[in-house]
Amino acid sequence: MSEFLALEQIVDDDPQDGRYLTFSLDSECYGIEIKYVTEIIGIQPITEVPEMPEYIKGIINLRGRIIPVMDVRLRFKKPFREYDERTCIIVIEIRDIVLGLIIDRVSEVLTIP
């Protein structure tokens, strides 16, 4: 029984728990748990896909992997803003679903206990 409890404690002690990648849209700050973030890339060419909602900008090819990309600004009903050198795509993976999130800029990683 004590072996099971020790194993459970090891599993629960994920070093990424409580850590959030923060990013901004306009002057507002948002965060996503770092354990879902696979990488952060600069904006790149996006292939449009017809018949998608306005906030789904299309797909990108990331090292041979096709990833749908969503403009978070549009999803939150904010006005479109031209992409610039600070615009990033945060690639996330949650339960085998991979998605790129277009955001204005990445801020920092915060630990929130």
For residue 35, give the amino acid letter: K
Tell me which residue range forms the domain holding 41: 2-111
pTM above 0.75, yes or no: yes
Question: What pLDDT score was predicted for residue 15?
Answer: 63
- The CA distances from residue 50 to 19, 40, 44, 53, 85, in Å, are 36, 26, 19, 9, 27
The string of pLDDT tens digits covering residues 54-107 is: 999 999 999 999 999 999 999 999 999 999 999 999 999 999 999 999 999 999
The CATH number of whichever domain residue 25 belongs to comes to 2.40.50.180
Q: How many domains does the chain have?
A: 1
The string of pLDDT tens digits covering residues 32-48 is: 999 999 999 999 999 99
